[in-house]
Amino acid sequence: MNQPPPEKNNAPAICDTAFPLWWEGLLLGALGLDRAGTTAPAFLDALRFFNTQWVGGEGVDYTDRRADLRAYACFYMPANMPKLWMMLDRTPGLAAALGAKPWRIREIGCGPGTFLWAALLWLEQRAPDALRNLTGITGVDRHPGFLTIARRIAAAVTSRPAFRHIRAEFIEADWHDAPPAADEFAIFGNVLNEATAEEAARIAALPAAAIAVIEPGTLKTFHRLLPLRDALAKAGRPVIFPCPPTGERASCPAHGTPGVPPGTMCSPPHRHTDTPPHQFPPSLPPCPMPADNWCHFAVNRFRLPLVQSMAAKAGRLNPRHNFCGFLFGKPGVTPAAGPAAGAVCWRTLSHLRKSNRSGVRWLCSGACLREIVLGRRDRNDGNRAFLDAEWGDLLEISPGPGRNNPAKTARLAESDTVAVTDPTDPTDRSDRPHHPAG
């Protein structure tokens, strides 16, 4: 059976948000460091210690004398921040909806405040109106050393004009004891990949206005997150990333196609490798990803020059940083627009591959996992977005007159139209033409 490659050798997806020029200096100042100190042997030994602990799979003992939390804040924190940017860049309507009135952000398992700072930098660059309505941020973590660093960074960040109106607080607690409120965007970073069914149910019952889940981009992690995805969807939360919005994706259009060998055009319904089959909410079909593959994305960990210099000294030259991520909205709070009439939304799960002058890439509609081809003779301005899209973009594909859904043929035709879209854009697209005029 054809399957999407794990994307080990291609460049990460483009993230439009960037670190401002002042960020590196602010970070080093808050930590009492200079650039030279970040490449000292003892400092780099801490990076090796963290990496060895993570690879070993036993978790990190942050109280170990080798665990210099400043090294974590200089290297791993800015390496992780673009993961949230990549998701928010593709769902900008989420912040617009949340920020239409006063709101807050809460990061669970915040460490030094990784995704709190990521959110603030993103809002400053991409959603200034929502930033003005942001009243506060809260970080929750069990490690007091991380919270000390987070408070130092917060003092520096909130001294800048764009963030002076924001109240920052940090709580030493387990997330169960400091859950998010109804006006908060809750971000769970690297804390839920081993969530039990009971914990998934508790998270699904949270009143948060929206929930982000960001975890390591591994096969094991992805399949462990699927029951959590299903629990939140069953509770009525729309999945706005990465699963495409509802529409014609409720059933796979490739099923029952004459002449199509079973398993070659669409992956079978997913079954967890370590749990028995379970019931899926009617609004969310079983994940079509096979058990030996996973839905993941990647960012460039070297977006901050400080991280690149530390990596060069430590001999860590791979720029890719994989992750699995989900964004969940809240009914009545987060818009989740479906595709235009006759169209189907597909998430791009690979880079464009060129074969015999055709463009080939893996797409997922939420029910179907398909490798779609656009031949060179069928290319035009109407379907150019298929070639130009980045890994992680959401494509809305509208079949041309008399055409079937491309999931049946695995090919795009000249009359098909393709557009990069945002599932959080509340614009009504039901009356939009879904094929080129004439």
Q: What is the pLDDT of residues 334-355, one digit of tens each?
A: 665 667 777 888 999 999 999 9
Q: What pLDDT score was predicted for residue 252?
A: 52
Q: What pLDDT score was predicted for residue 436?
A: 31
Co-location of 93 and 180 in the same domain: yes
**pLDDT confidence band for 333 (50 / 70 / 90):** low
pLDDT, tens only, 290-312: 999 999 999 988 889 999 999 99
Q: Cβ-count burial of 356 within 10 angstroms (0-12 exposed, 13-18 middle, 19+ buried)?
A: exposed
Q: What is the three-class DSSP state of 119?
A: helix
CATH number of the domain at 369, please: 2.40.50
At residue 143, φ and ψ (nearest 5 deg) are -105, 115
Co-location of 302 and 388 in the same domain: no
pLDDT above 90 for 268:
no
Contact criterion met (CB below 8 Å) for 81 and 73: no
Alpha-carbon distance of 435 to 234, in angstroms, equals 34
Q: What is the three-class DSSP state of 107?
A: strand
Alpha-carbon separation of residue 399 from 175, 232, 428 (angstroms) = 46, 32, 19
Co-location of 108 and 211 in the same domain: yes
Count up the domains in the chain and report the number: 2
Co-location of 201 and 318 in the same domain: yes
**pLDDT confidence band for 263 (50 / 70 / 90):** very low
Co-location of 175 and 206 in the same domain: yes
Lowest mean pLDDT among 1-5, 233-237, 301-305: 1-5
Assess if residue 185 is contained within a domain: yes
pLDDT, tens only, 14-73: 557 899 999 999 999 999 999 999 999 989 999 888 888 777 666 777 878 888 999 999
Owning domain of residue 385:
344-421
pTM of the model: 0.87
**For the chain, how far is it from start to end, CA to CA, in angstroms?**
39
Q: What pLDDT score was predicted for residue 190?
A: 87
Alpha-carbon distance of 174 to 114, in angstroms, equals 17
Which residues pair with residue 323 across a beta bridge? 216, 297
Strands 358-364, 353-355: parallel, antiparallel or unpaired by DSSP? antiparallel
Contact criterion met (CB below 8 Å) for 421 and 335: no
